Structure 1
Amino acid sequence: MGENTESTTREALADFLRRRRDALSPEVVGLRTGQRRRTPGLRRDEVARLANMSTTYYERLEQGRGPQPSAAILAGLAGALRLAPDGRAYLYLLAGRTEPAGAKPDGVVDPELLSVMRAVAAASPAFVMDDLTTVAAQNELHTTLFGQIAGLPGREGNMLWRWFCSGRWRRTVLNSAEHQEAIGRNYVAYLRVVLAERGYDPDSAALVADLRGVSAEFSRMWDEHRVSRVPPPIMSVLDDRIGRLDFDYAVMTSTRSRQRMVSLHPVPGTLTQQRLAGLSYVPDDAVSTHR
């Protein structure tokens, strides 16, 4: 970012903070208004107190000075100024930060991801999971292939747990031991990034602790401290009804939640697409699950 651009952005941030402070009445944030006030909205010291920061630091922000605000500072300001989602996103943008995605309440699936998952159902097994890889929804083709995963109790609905702790799942994977090692490392490197994004919150820390307690393979890979956002490489699985299936991955991340949709696509040059089409003709009593 050039010096002129940075200066303009600082001025925009300062102006935004001043305007929002002036527009916010003390009653909205639970402050008394009995004494005469010289400002139409909140005072700087009141915003600073509500945002859990020093008045001096806040004043510097309104003056377009000081260091780049941290994510914690921005979260405090967004709460203190009672910013709506668009205002909160704009605040992070002006400060040069990425707004942390919010978590959807338990059982709530991002509607945009759900719509795309259903749209690809005819040709691609797909599912929606949160950032810790707990499955929230599956399309019909994914459920037919891999059984019901969404809504399973405890860790059974978590893809990382199924990879490192479920012998049944790994026995269906046809990739070589070396390739499976690469897939596992990719999962762990992804989880490392998510933990940092979540600020090492209790949910993510508990998942790591549980995995370390059960899987020596996971513990070994975790201690390597690799990081990556790249999806796992091509995976091949054996389905008892239709044979070998070779899948590549695509991941669609929500801009409004911590959820993402994973769709599996037949690898070109394999028989996967034809074999998936054959699932439509498999009798109901032949459908099995992999858990």
Structure 2
Amino acid sequence: MPENTESTTREALADFLRRRRDALSPEMVGLQTGQRRRTPGLRRDEVARLANMSTTYYERLEQSRGPQPSAAILAGLARALRLGPDERAYLYLLAGRTEPTVAKPDGVVDPELLSVMRAVAATSPAFVVDDLATVTAQNELHTTLFGLVAGLPGWEGNMFWCWFCSGRWRRPVLNSAEHQEAIGRNYVAYLRVIVAERGYDTAAAALVADLRMASTEFTRMWDEHQVSRAPAPMVSVLDDRVGRLDFDYALMMSSRSRQRLFSLHAVPGTPTQLRLTRLSYVLGDAVSTHR
């Protein structure tokens, strides 16, 4: 980072901290005000104590000096200064750090992604996964083509398990063995990223260990240590009602959680979109018949 840019960022961080400190009263953070105060908000030593850091270190931050704050320091400051989501993200941005995302409780679907999934329900099969790629929600088109996966116990609802072990997502696929190999490699390269993002924690390690035990194909690809965030290559699916469907993948990351939305979009120049529309009508007629 150029020196003048770094200096400006440090000054912006220092000013932001001062402004947020001045905006807080002792009562707002549970402190008593027994003596007359010379500052309109909290004192520096009070913020430092609430953030679990030394007063000297905090003073240097407000003076545009000192080292780059660690993620732990920033988390303490965000908590001490009662920062909202946007303010917290801005704090990490000024400090040159990536804000940690927050995992949703099991079974809770990120509302941002759920809204998008529903918005494309008539035209694109789509599903939401948690940060270990276990499916938490599917729209009707995706469920129709690949079967119900969301909510299945254990790893049965995990997208990688569905490809390498149970075969749930592989059975309707028309791609050649060579192309399926490419899709599998892409999945494994993406899992490498997920595992690293989680810091190789117990749950991530357990998923990898179980996949290695259950699939020699996965083990071979995992040992190659390829890394990629790119969505999987084009996949072709056979549906008994409308015929062949050719899809490209798109990936959307949530801005507020570790969840992701995968959506399948018709490959241009193919009759896929027309056939998806026809499939939507078939599904709608089936629902009407059962009412």
Mapped partners of 2:85, 2:168: distance in 1: 43
* Residue matched to 2:194: 194
Residue in 1 aligned with 2:216? 216
What do residues 207-227 of structure 1 show as CA deviations (whole Å, max 9, x unaligned)? 333333433333333333322
Are the counterparts in 2 of residues 23 and 41 from structure 1 also a CA contact under 8 Å? yes
Contact map agreement 1:100 1:197 (CA 8 A) in 2: no
Q: Shift of the alpha carbon at 1:164?
A: 1.7
**TM-score when normalising by structure 1:** 0.84
- Distance change in 2, residues 1:172/1:256 (3 Å): same
Q: 1:220 to 1:33 in 2, by over 3 A?
A: farther
Higher relative contact order (CA 8 A, sep 6+): 1
CA offset at residue 7 of structure 1?
0.9
2:48 matched residue in structure 1: 48
2:120 aligned with 1:142: no
Partners of 2:42 and 2:172 lie apart in 1 by: 62
Alignment partner of 1:119 is 2:116: no
Equivalent position of 1:289 in the other structure: none
Change (3 A) 1:120 1:99: same
Matches within 5 A, 1:92-131: 92-131=92-131
SS at structure 2 position matched to 1:20: helix
Structure 2: tracts of 5 or more residues without a match: none
Partner letter of residue 234 of structure 1? M
- Report the count of equivalent residues: 285
Distance, in Å, in 2 between the alignment partners of 1:73 and 1:227 is: 30
Q: Which residue of 1 aligns with 2:67?
A: 67
User: Normalising by the residue count of structure 2, what TM-score does the alignment of the two structures yield?
Assistant: 0.84
Secondary structure at 1:170 match in 2:
coil
Q: Secondary structure at the match of 2:137?
A: strand
Deviation at 1:74? 1.5
Q: Could you tell me the percent identity over the aligned residues?
A: 82
What do residues 235-288 of structure 1 show as CA deviations (whole Å, max 9, x unaligned)? 122334433322111122221222222221122233323433342337859xxx
Where do residues 275-290 of structure 1 align in structure 2 (5 Å cutoff)? Answer: 275-279=275-279, 280-281=281-282, 284=286
SS at match of 1:171: coil
With over 3 angstroms needed to count, the CA separation of the structure-2 counterparts of 1:247 and 1:208, relative to structure 1, is same
Letter of the 1:281 counterpart: V
Residues 153 and 55 of structure 1: CA distance in aligned 2, closer, same or farther (over 3 Å): same
Q: Tell me how far apart the structure 1 counterparts of residues 51 and 249 of structure 2 sit (CA, whole Å).
A: 42
> Structure 1 202/68 Cα, relative in aligned 2: closer, same or farther at 3 Å?
same
CA contact (8 A) 2:146 2:168 kept: no
Cα 1:168/1:105, change in 2 over 3 Å: closer
